[in-house]
Amino acid sequence: MERNVRLRAVCLAGPSDAGKTTLVEQLVPRLADSGRVGTIKSIHHDIEVDTPGTDTHRHRTAGAETVVGITPAMTFEVTTHGKDAPPAADGDALLASDDPEVQALSRTLERLARRGYDIVLVEGFSQSPLPTILVGDREPAAVGGPVVGRGDDAIDDLVDTIRSLEPLEC
């Protein structure tokens, strides 16, 4: 019997260099006091996160869809499905959308929910229907979700807002 996982997720949306990452850095330790916190970062250009020539890079370039590296201190996962080609849904999507970027976000949120995360801060993905904290001069009409706060709100108020969000049913 699969348990009903409840996850709170919020987007932080704003222009480049508006302070989104700094706000994430301030929110994570406060939210982690009461549960598992994960973050998702939207990156608008391709980067190489796995050093060419390493064994894990060789596994991926040989054709593995997902490669997991486990070190003494960290575990990391590299999966070939990004925004351009998100993995197919197993059933109903958590976030209903025809947008491949939102579909990729939805699949990632579902994975984190299954892994037992309580809160996920999503930096970027401004067109998702998730509750959104506006950072910088972004206008409410420029985001896909309801605005629940602003980056210049008191940090304790933002923490309370995030903790009080309606959980997503996963």
> Cα separation of 155 and 38, whole Å?
18
For residue 103, pLDDT beyond 50: yes
Top-ranked range on mean pLDDT: pick from 1-5, 41-45, 97-101, 110-114 = 110-114
Look up the pTM and report it.
0.80
Domains plus CATH for the chain?
6-42+83-169 (3.40.50.300), 47-81 (no CATH)
Could you tell me how many residues make up the chain? 170
Secondary structure class of 82 (helix, strand, coil): coil
Q: Give backbone dihedrals phi and psi of 11, rounded to 5 degrees, phi first.
A: -90, 145
> Cα separation of 170 and 111, whole Å?
9
